[in-house]
Amino acid sequence: MENFLLPSKVEFKAGESAHTGTVVIAPCYHGYGTTLGNALRRVLLSSLPGSSVEYFKIKGVQHEFGTVEGVKEDAVEIMLNLKQLAVRVFADEPVVLNITKKGPGPVTAGDIEKNSNVEVANKDLVICNLTKNKTLEMEITVGRGRGFKPVEEKNRQNYDLGTIVVDSVYTPVKDVGYHVEYTRVGDITNYEKLTLTVETNGTVAPVEALKQATQILMDHFTIVLDAARESKEEVGLETMAAAEAPVAVEAPAEEVVEAKPKKKAKKKE
């Protein structure tokens, strides 16, 4: 049986920023550059655990279409800005963060009061701008999850009046791109080199994100492999039992030949 060529080189490279990284995997069997790249990309963008804003409250605002006195942005714009907040939650339950800021001036993620259960990665994010000498009071609830959870999947009945629910983007990966090109192995030129670039929101390193995505794929493949092995063993036992079992052979029925009556000879006249 011909040996299946596996990659012998996996190289990690730092990107232009601390939140970007690149991995080069080579040589890949023909077609496997795209297979690996597509599988890793899908898991990185959809399945990694992370933290996100789940809902928030602003003193004096009853719903997401309301306005805040002395604030340039309305509640919808503030909600869109909060969706970009990159946080890392260490607690199992949601954590409430508080902001109390007097204007005029910008309100940034760095104005969030410190909490031992939460780490803010992008403290320079502008949440809103105060235009008057007013005080903004806000509560932001963050929690842990996986992938993406829209507002429609959240039970609004569990929230108090004035709570603005947000679409939660838990995945810490912002973008993934991959490129496949041909590479030479000996005299064969159609092997492939996969270059995968990962950009995160700063709450997890690109290499760690790739490690988690690979582990998720391996866990799924291991389940299939173990099930196939068990099924093969069961089928093998059934086959052996069937081979050892005595086979009943039905005796052939006796052939009954019906004798034909003899014709009587005609008398000559």
Per-residue HEC secondary structure of the chain comes to: CCCCCCCCEEEEEECCCCCEEEEEEEEECCCHHHHHHHHHHHHHHHCCEEEEEEEEEECCCCCCCCCCCCECCCHHHHHHHHCCCCEEECCCCCEEEEEEEECCEEEEHHHCCCCCCEEECCCCCEEEEECCCCEEEEEEEEEEEECEECHHHCCHHHCCCCCEECCEECCCEEEEEEEEEEEEECCEEEEEEEEEEEEECCCCCHHHHHHHHHHHHHHHHHHHHHHHHHHHHHHHHHHHHHHHCCCCCCCCCCCCCCCCCCCCCCCCC
pLDDT band at 260; cut points 50, 70, 90: low
Residue 243 above 70 pLDDT? no
Structural domain span for residue 32 = 9-47+174-227
Q: What pLDDT is stored for residue 244 in this prediction? A: 55
Taking only the tens place, the pLDDT of each residue in 16-69 is: 888 999 999 999 999 999 999 999 999 999 999 999 999 999 998 988 888 888
pTM strictly above 0.95: no
pLDDT at 230: 86
Which of 153, 169, 185 marks a domain boundary?
169
Considering the domain boundaries, does residue 20 fall inside one?
Answer: yes
pLDDT band at 80 (very low <50, low <70, confident <90, very high): very high
Q: Is 252 a domain residue?
A: no
pLDDT of residue 33: 94
Residue 4 forms part of a structural domain = no
91-101 pLDDT, tens digit per residue, is 999 999 999 99
